[in-house]
Structure 1
Amino acid sequence: SPFSFFRGAALIMAADLAAGPHTGLIAQLCGDAHLSNFGLFGTPERNLVFDVNDFDETLPGPWEWDVKRLVASLAIAGRTNGFQASDRELVVRSCACAYRTHMRELAGLGELNAWYTQTTVDAELEASVDTKFAKAIQETAAKARTHDSLQAVSKLTETVDGQTRLVSQPPLVVPIEELVGADQAREYEQQLGPFMQRYRDSLEDSRRPLIDRFQNVAMARKVVGVGSVGLRAWIMLLVGRDNDDPLLIQMKEAQPSVLARFLGDSEYANAGQRVSVGQRLMQASSDVLLGWLHAVGPDGYEADYYVRQLHDWKGAVSVQNSSPKLLADYARSCGHALARGHARTGDRIAIAAYLGDGDTADTAFAQFAEAYADQNERDYAALQAAVAAGRVTAKSDL
């Protein structure tokens, strides 16, 4: 669909944005701030918050690039859902207005108060939105609180002869002994020490004693999708006190940001470090085990990786087949969260002053979103034509 195409086309949009003017006001960017890259996750204090949750393309850049990608995604989603033009405008303007007004609020706060701001999922938040959206939040929050490492362990592991191991679910999950053979798998596991030490060294000092309490017992390749198709990802099963104290962590390949060819290379040579640092800068609260390393996988493929818990109270509100009102409320939440993320590293006072207290910027973003939705449809049609002509190979097993 045009929306699925848009999700995987961060590089295409980056090229389009780079061809035009920008404000010159720089902030840490998500780099791929479409509406599906926001969601719920748990903080170390075990609160549930709503925030940006994907940082594969993060890099410092013009703040409005993130906003433009977000509003374009909303317009495209509105078209996918069959919304009229007036309803799509309502959705996009809700997002742009939320970004503008929250940035203005943040500009009036002191540095610490602005940094500590977060969107906590609680009764106050639910009371501030439409009843249907509040119900969607409640349902998603309830699922997110069960969507943790223990749930992942129950789905991805099995116990054989008293030993816990990762299940084989090819092609999505393949244990390393099936990839390279039992002998080579054991040899690789014996060499994991230096790699895990690099990951440990990337953690904050206060987190290192925590990861030291776990030991690796199994490893598997895990397929990831959409914009990450083709990148390596590994899951590792660790145990702490005993087999009843499991932890699943994911190592996901990181490559240079798609923004780098237009904004310059990251200051971090390791792409996994770029992702991890960008996440820590933008999120109100990040995974305590978020880190990075450079490693050679069991298949001999060498790459940078960022490392995180596989699941930690993660959830997302579904906006497929949603009403215009529900999508507008969701858009408002996304705009609010993105403004807070940019305010942590950008000049929030200058951005707020640029946007002003009227709706001129809201109108401009709404016009851009519709224009880019048209461009996205042309790009998607061009891809379909290339497939039909045999210039691009595409296949599906569905």
Structure 2
Amino acid sequence: MPDVLPWSPLGAGLLLAPGPEAETLPDFRQEYPEVAPPDSAALVDVLRRADLRGRGGAGFPAWRKIEAVVSRRPDGPVAVVANGEEGEPASCKDRYLLRHRPHLVLEGLEIVRRALVADAAYVYVSDELGRDRVLAAIAERGLLGIEVFLAPRGYVSGEESAVVRALDGGPALPTQKPPRPFESGVGQRPTAVMNVETLARACRLWTAAALDQDPPVDLLMLTLLDPDQVVLTEVPAGTTLREVARQALGLDVSPGTPVLSGGFFSGFLPDVALDAPLDFDGFRRLGTGVGCGSFIFLPGACPVDVATDVMAFFDRENAHQCGSCFKGTAAMHQALERIGLGTQQDTDVANLERWTRTLPGRGSCATLDGAACLARTLLTQFAGVVERHATVPCAQCAAAAERADPDTRFRVPAP
């Protein structure tokens, strides 16, 4: 079970709940009093000045998504979705918010709903306890017109076009773009699909603005893993990962330590990023990503073994509807398995390198991009380790091949 660790220099007023149970409405109102709802221009202005990025993984500016839907409002009704389907196995922040801070998520959803003048609102979640606590919070608030949808669990189920497809009665699988949900979403309405942490942040920002308070400090919720512990914490944007690992995990990260960045999607973190400020644009310039805010520190681990585990996950969890994706992830997984066991073919490394260049961008969603990034960062950051596997047996890879449980070993439960 993950530990929930407040970041001590920050004090109060954060997203982490003060207790182990779900917040009540009176407790929530002590922290967030009722304020007048914004119109769309006011909300866009507040979110733009705060540079609030989407917290589902892509880091897309939240205000742009709202503005895109607003621009289509004259054409007919619009919708908004609180997306809490946490398909990333190494993340638990969204399930935490739904289980422990449902009123904060719902307040953010209501703020965006009113700003958009949306005629439909949804909470999309695959965690049953999170679903139950959101339903209880809706009843406590007396809210009408919010549909709570229990989605199937899966890596691609939370991709925004998969969300729309499921809410429209189809399978929770991505669709080709265009159109994107902000163009034609649930019931063909322009739809803002927003991560639940993004909505919680929007609530903090608008409440502060409405009360004429200073803007709250920009924060990131991080799920941190090492071989012995899982920690959910909240840190100011701009903190370095080295500092986060030291304070939250008690871990001094040595050069060359395998670290998976942004959950599974951004592959292995380059060493230089450990001392770079944690922010979306800065990490992107370094060839990596913050993603959903999950970082897996693996001192002493074999990066080939780690990459094989994650690639096996991509191989199982892709939507199996784009040939380039289900064939590409399978081929990369098989090549990594052979490299790990010392049975590699002469072309395996060259093929992996070629696939990292030719496969990104070829699927309906970004799963194939994440798989290619994993292979690319393995080959660029651990080339010597990969080469040694051809001649030196790897005990870690051999042991992993004997594991009875096919699931990734980096999956974390929700606190």
**TM-score category by the smaller chain?**
under 0.3
Q: TM-score, normalised by structure 2?
A: 0.26
Structure whose residues are more often strand by fraction: 1
Q: Which has the higher contact order (CA 8 A, sep 6+)?
A: 1
More helix by share: 1
